Structure 1
Amino acid sequence: MRDALMAALSTVNDPELHRDLVSLGMIEHASVDAGVAHVKVNLTTPACPLKGQIEHDVRAAALTVPGVQEAVITFGAMVRPPAQPALPGVKHVLLVGSGKGGVGKSSVAVNLAASLAMDGARVGLLDADVYGPSVAHMLGQSGAKVTANEERKMRPLDAHGVRFISMANLSPAGQALVWRGPMLHSAIQQFLKDAAWGDLDYLIVDLPPGTGDVQLSLTQTIQVTGAVIVTTPQDVALIDATRALDMFRKASVPVLGVIENMSYFVAPDTGITYDIFGRGGSRKLGDHTLLGEIPLEVSVRQDADAGTPAVLAHPDSPAALALRQAARALAGQVSVRTLAHLPDQLTVV
């Protein structure tokens, strides 16, 4: 009967990868006992955006097997590394960039990291905005200091389940860094290769605005899985976002999607929606996946100032829900790209 169950499961496709679960090696266990099918599915990311659909389809397929009256579906997750992992122990490096400042890029990066960690992924966050580091403050760790381990490597700090390094935790508060390009390059090298990141599924890098030395150093130093562009809907932001897209294209970094931040505002007293900066402008950026439209909410700013990401502080707010969905959509895009460049997986049963 197990063979019949596996045959039925081979008709179920992953909705994003468009291949069946059996050939993808996502069926960790399948058995039938006293009319009950037991199936464990190993997702390609803990933040799978279509887990519910997969569960529905697996159950429906199992119940087509003669003699099966009930199906118990359980899940595990294993983020698969690319053919060439970025760093020892780090599977995927994801860049979060923007063409200009003021679009909420750092806030989005922090919430993406926290959201992926909430779903069970091992996540790191590198604040590469050396001149204007804000990640430490948004994670409530502006007063903490980075220390070294026994091997004289930087030990990342930890907040809300996210390991992170920021220049704000390495230099005196309020001190301006007046560095030229070579010094920036050296700092980025140290953050990446002289830090004890440990085993990570995703290392999210919050880039500085623009298309300068830090971006160039990162893309030339390590293998990057892909980038996310954060923009607001108005044309002045989209003009600079287009430049960021062109930079990643020239650096051969795939753009995994676009996040439109401050997409709209819903008045809390009337419920009326206002498109303060316009809306849907990110669609002008061409054929790129729209990972999410994040509403403008006062609580997101308040939570950042208080040192707790919005997805944790107000998880049921519209902005937090949109950020959670954007993070899962991003994880799904990583899985799609990874599986597209790997050979067929062997089934583990």
Structure 2
Amino acid sequence: MYMCEAELAALAALVERNEGIDPALGALRTAALLLKNAAADKSKGVLRADNKALRSKILGLDGGAAALHALGFRADVEDPEQATTFSLAASSSTAALAEAVGEAVARVVALKDAIVAVGDSNAPQAAQDALRLAATYVTNLASDAANERKRRIGGVAGEEAAGEPSPSEAVTSVPRFATLPLVDALCAGGAPPGGADMQPKLAKARDGQAVVLLCWQSASKRWSRVGQMPIPSTSFAWAQTLPDGSEPALSIDVDLGDGKLLELRAGVGGGDNEYLAAKRFIDANWESLNNNHLEEIARKVRAAVGPVLATVEALRDAMEAQN
């Protein structure tokens, strides 16, 4: 059973708008039970809005009434917030929809258990944020992904996988600094062999006093400056920060297929993660993207950030060894 866009949007909003995962998880469980009961007994398809359990589990949440409506329970007045009853519309898919919501609940529970097991005591809020984003994603797993337009970070949307650049690789063996090309020479040379998106490369600053880290942006066909490390320092100065200035960031050029370049910034200071970066990008480009793209974008961010961070560490080790 695949959920339609309206149903998915309502369930995703329920997860996103409420603090913590437990209230939304409880609402999803209750919704699955209500649908299951209504499928077995039509008399249970009418819900009273003043029912304490219904109000505490679903209607009391931000987006709860909209979620009920999307799942087929229609309010007796135009404004769901003013309703006295919700009645299940006649539908032959009630049981299947209950099963789909139940599957989403099971996935959310599995993700919650996994994150709790990790025991992220150093950043509990980051773990909770990641869980909320993951919960939003799994509510969309029931949708037909084949009908979604393809999106690709670091290139033109809709390209077949065979035509995508190969994955970038970290610079793990740093040559003598004197042998590195100048920044201008590297940029003039065009794409790296294989054209790997976000491929990191090292070059010398024009004055020779620093080693510069650049990445190949396949969407814009250019080299972008990531940061630099003065010689003989081991302190890396990042060129970009997150929009709020809270931590250094990696900038990734994005083309959604219309030829218009967009920027995605992913924090690299420890307070951000690929899912938060992906969600910010989706929210900023909601006309073209939705939460179905969360996992794909997060995966691309992870693939871009990993080699860059590894290259910075290799550069730091080389700086200590060569000075």
TM over 0.5: no
Higher relative contact order (CA 8 A, sep 6+): 1
Larger helix proportion, structure 1 or 2? 2
Q: TM-score, normalised by structure 1?
A: 0.28
Larger Rg over CA atoms? 2
Structure with more of its chain in strand, by fraction: 1
